[in-house]
Chain A
Amino acid sequence: MGTSRRYLLAGAGGALALGACGGAERPGRPRPGRGRADASQLNRVLAYENTAVAAYELGAQLVRARELGAWEAIADQEREHARRLTALVRDLGFRPARPRLPDEYERSFPLLRTPADALRFASDLEERIVRAYLEALASMRDPELRRLATAIAVNEAEHMVLLSELRGEEPAPDAFVTGTT
């Protein structure tokens, strides 16, 4: 396989940098102050979700048949997160971070050749997404958004369990699940 964890994370970072470029204020519907801060945080995690959707779509061609059910279930939930966050940013009067083209994501990802590559990349992404949600909490002004963001972070932590089990690793090694930066 040959792809190191650091390389995988570097690839994810490139994809996230691409994804985070969207999210400007939508002309004619500005919501200054409180809404702007929340929209900015939502767009940040939306960029991660868009990246995850692309990663799971790409990885679906690699994982084994016995892994595909869990893989697709996780992918569906990432799509749900992205849809919800997109709607929330729009409701605040801002332009949601848009997903890039699949080719753009693929170029920014590490080389994924085997089921193990796909599973490891997905695990690393989930950890980064959990961290992104947790870091966003302190900057979110709307308490209901903090609650929703935590509910999504919890779901991402659940994904980490499934992916660890598929990888034959300890599914819940930490009592405090903070993700990684």
Chain B
Amino acid sequence: VSSLRSRRELLLAGATLPLAAGVGPALAGAQRGDAAIVTAALALERRAAITYEQMLAEKLIEPGLGETLRDHERLHAEGLVRALEGLGRPAPRDPGRPADVPGLTRALAAGRRAAARFALGLERRLLVGYLDAQRELRDPDLLLPLASIATSEGQHLALLRGELGLDPIPYAFELGRR
């Protein structure tokens, strides 16, 4: 996945990220809150990317689907890193190891369905985080980019539910429910 494509997609998403230099105390406080939201999302995106990578490595997901989902999560993470930089915050170190994803090893050991259910749970958590962000973000320029990631996670939910033989669109209002 090229970072060039990632940058282009983030621009398409309407990201015009604020610069940290020269902001007043009130805005700086708002940026701290926004940075915490973005940091939490980044950590979860990285866990999701690792999850799909491991599912692919252990042949627990159809390759085309697994690669799409993994690549999307990586692109989301790249976008969030840039958002953090725009807020004047350094991005946390990439965890990079399956052991950093709580519950992953056990889910992978339990087989294909358990792994897909685990991924579904991660996608739900991601979605809930992005929905809550719409309520909590102070910087209006972050609303659209993060919402455009939420819509992507919704598509992942539909695909994973389909893989599990579940109704892919059970809710008219997708709030990340089980």
The residues of A with any CB-CB pair to B shorter than 8 Å are: 73-74, 76-77, 80-81, 84, 130, 133-135, 137-138, 143-144, 146-162, 165, 171-172, 174-179
Tell me which of A77, A165, A175 contacts B152 (CB under 8 A).
A175
Having A153-B150, A176-B79, one finds 8 other A-B pairs with CB under 8 Å, namely A84-B173, A137-B147, A138-B140, A151-B174, A156-B151, A175-B149, A176-B75, A177-B154
CB-defined contacts of B168 to chain A, threshold 8 Å:
158, 161-162
Query: 0/1 per residue, B146-169, Cβ < 8 Å to A?
Result: 011111111111110010000111
C-alpha gap A81/B155 in the complex (Å): 18
C-alpha gap A144/B73 in the complex (Å): 26
Q: How large is the interface on B (under 10, 10 to 19, 20 to 34, 35 or more residues)?
A: 35 or more
Contact call B172/A178, Cβ cutoff below 8 A = no
CB-defined contacts of B173 to chain A, threshold 8 Å:
80-81, 84, 148, 151-152, 155
C-alpha gap A175/B75 in the complex (Å): 7
Q: Could you show 11 A-B contacts with beta carbons less than 8 Å apart?
A: A143-B136, A151-B175, A152-B172, A154-B151, A158-B154, A158-B174, A159-B169, A172-B68, A177-B152, A177-B155, A178-B14
CB-defined contacts of B148 to chain A, threshold 8 Å:
134, 176-178
C-alpha gap A87/B130 in the complex (Å): 25
Interface presence of B127 (CB below 8 A): yes
- A-binding segment of B5-13, B27-35, B104-112: B5-13
Interface presence of B131 (CB below 8 A): yes
A-B contact count (CB 8 A): 131
Contact call B131/A162, Cβ cutoff below 8 A = no
Interface presence of B46 (CB below 8 A): no
CB-defined contacts of B132 to chain A, threshold 8 Å:
147
Contact call A130/B174, Cβ cutoff below 8 A = no
> Which B residues from 38 to 87 make CB contacts under 8 A with A?
68, 71-72, 75-76, 79
Contact call A175/B154, Cβ cutoff below 8 A = no
Whole-angstrom distance from the CB of B149 to the nearest CB of chain A?
6
CB-defined contacts of B174 to chain A, threshold 8 Å:
151-152, 154-155, 158
Tell me which of B13, B72, B131, B136 contacts A172 (CB under 8 A).
B72
Contact call A147/B131, Cβ cutoff below 8 A = yes
Whole-angstrom distance from the CB of B76 to the nearest CB of chain A?
6
Contact call A137/B152, Cβ cutoff below 8 A = no
CB-defined contacts of B159 to chain A, threshold 8 Å:
161, 171-172
